[in-house]
Structure 1
């Protein structure tokens, strides 16, 4: 089987291998293990070196067909995209023509282009992984809404399974609830319940991009207020982004250098150990699909306090496996203080969260991927 993957992830080249964002590559390598050859249609930046979080693909018959990056966020970008459009359309058309299975990664600019071009290949077997928020009632960019409409329209989109996070009512028959996974069955270890001890730190963790959409500053403000109330607290940030300088200045201005630590992008093993040591994940994101960091925290006994976006309420059992908040600092602090006063409730929810998350292993994930590829 010749698998074509169309997505907007920017790739890098080193020692003859293509690198991309690590969690994405780990998933795609599972797809690739079930096919004979792979073509990736995606942007390539030869000037960038791989970050520590990036990984190489693992397939002996893999090629990358480069397409230019494009955007439609401004008039200038729209004009630039118009000039690039003949090349984008032609390369996408040719790649689809030569593929046995077309796989789209949505939402994104290349996902939108792929969603439009696939209309002209009704007899090709196709799948789409919609890694954003499928909730139709949520606020979404127009281009995201357009991708949802095309992919779920049985007249425009044929022979395609659309994999979405969570279960949503009144959807077309080709919409398939899906999930993602980070850990294997053989990685499971016994959960060591962490005590909330007044003599020791409350360990908080944030994992993700340090950008305004993830709102890392709220986590820092929570640490500040907890420390000011007399509690010992430690907050570790894992991730990189434009908010880093702001966070560093906040920590310095509020005398939090001994409480707030920013580690940047690190390996998955480092993040795993951090989850094992943390009491709470503070993750006040404005938009998600299936937030892997929430599932990963639950897997290792770190209780999530997070916003109710996308399928997150379903992941947390609507409050049975963690806390759903609107994002106000005092609301997060109230959640932490609640468990401070009720340690048995904390332990109960930690175990419930771990038991739920540990259903979704890489082995189960690979079985589901294989069923998508074999479905004709």
Structure 2
């Protein structure tokens, strides 16, 4: 089986990047795996003996769209691919469906979540999903949304995002009464709704002892910093910027609770990462909520954009150390028994087989 992946992640062109290393896994389950990525410079990078990433070339997005179209067309004429798989149902989905129909190749459209919903984007998304031979989603929640568009369950494959983490023997946090350290690890963009956290904390009683470290960067950073000052939270909230490697390990090891307050989320890999260190999550009802995070068993799930519900959950975590200890133990056990890489790769192959015409 040969797979042609149309992606938008430029890091795939960097051999040492985490996403490039994930692409190499696919070389172990198919004969050939080729990834096309839009970028300014035309290039080819061999990630392994059977996995190759190609940069399209093109000065802007419009030029890159047409250069990617020509590049994929050339590859399909040169050799027979079993399936085209696209990273999303938008830009790459349109390319994949058009080229698959033109060349009589199966096409799988991946759906990680609904992003930046506008009339045009929704129409494009719905069209590509309905014209795909197969649809891959990351959760049962997303499967239902795709079925609501009229796609039959038989065409949909649910593949959870594999997170390569190891649970340490003593990962469960020892939660004693005292100051609670909350963290957010996220891009600072509108859909993550981090301002909701600030409003929730601003309403807490002054007698409560807590801190919030915001790990990440993005276009909303200036706005969030101003909001912290406006709400008088400078003493409690810190912006750490992006952290990785041992810096991120130190963040998780010193944290008591993760916050994820997105309005929309495909999955939520950070919850798994934090959970492997015994850090439970208070999260909105998005992504893996209900499938991985079970309310009051290994985390807390609150309604989207509900300040009072979020504040109540935060307050309980601060005041009830036994409850927080239970959530920590619960998420450690959940992460310990998540699907293996072997299982996830087998599910990828199942999805590609569904898409073969």
> Equivalent residue for 2:95?
113
> Equivalent residue for 1:290?
267
Q: Alpha-carbon deviation of 1:285?
A: 0.8
Change (3 A) 1:365 1:57: farther
User: Do 1:11 and 1:43's aligned partners in 2 also have CA atoms closer than 8 Å?
Assistant: no
Q: Distance in 1 between matches of 2:195 and 2:155?
A: 39
User: Do 2:297 and 2:326's aligned partners in 1 also have CA atoms closer than 8 Å?
Assistant: no
Give the gaps of 5 or more residues in structure 2: none
Q: Alpha-carbon deviation of 1:368?
A: 3.2
Corresponding residue SS for 1:213? helix
> Equivalent residue for 1:29?
24
Q: Distance in 2 between matches of 1:108 and 1:196?
A: 48
Tell whether 2:7 aligns with 1:7: yes
Q: Alpha-carbon deviation of 1:161?
A: 5.2
Change (3 A) 1:321 1:42: same
The one-character-per-residue Cα deviations of 1:100-119 (angstroms, maximum 9, x if unpaired) are 44221113412332133223
Q: Distance in 2 between matches of 1:333 and 1:285?
A: 15
Tell whether 2:142 aligns with 1:165: no
The one-character-per-residue Cα deviations of 1:130-149 (angstroms, maximum 9, x if unpaired) are 22149xxx967543454345
Q: Distance in 1 between matches of 2:122 and 2:96?
A: 13
Q: Distance in 2 between matches of 1:121 and 1:222?
A: 53
Change (3 A) 1:368 1:205: same
> Equivalent residue for 2:339?
360
Q: Distance in 2 between matches of 1:33 and 1:302?
A: 33
Change (3 A) 1:196 1:335: farther
> Equivalent residue for 2:293?
316
TM-score, with structure 1 as normaliser: 0.75
Change (3 A) 1:84 1:106: closer
TM-score, with structure 2 as normaliser: 0.78
One of 157, 181, 188 as aligned partner of 1:176: 157
The one-character-per-residue Cα deviations of 1:169-220 (angstroms, maximum 9, x if unpaired) are 5551110112012224x5544322241523xx21111111111111222233
Q: Distance in 2 between matches of 1:370 and 1:333?
A: 43
> Equivalent residue for 2:312?
334
The one-character-per-residue Cα deviations of 1:344-371 (angstroms, maximum 9, x if unpaired) are 3333233223322331344543443355
Tell whether 2:52 aligns with 1:62: yes
Change (3 A) 1:302 1:272: same
> Equivalent residue for 2:84?
102
**What are the within-5 Å matches in structure 2 for residues 246-325 of structure 1?**
246-252=223-229, 256-317=233-294, 320-325=297-302
Corresponding residue SS for 2:36? strand
User: Do 2:172 and 2:325's aligned partners in 1 also have CA atoms closer than 8 Å?
Assistant: no
Q: Alpha-carbon deviation of 1:96?
A: 4.0
Tell whether 2:23 aligns with 1:41: no
Give the gaps of 5 or more residues in structure 1: 47-55, 72-80
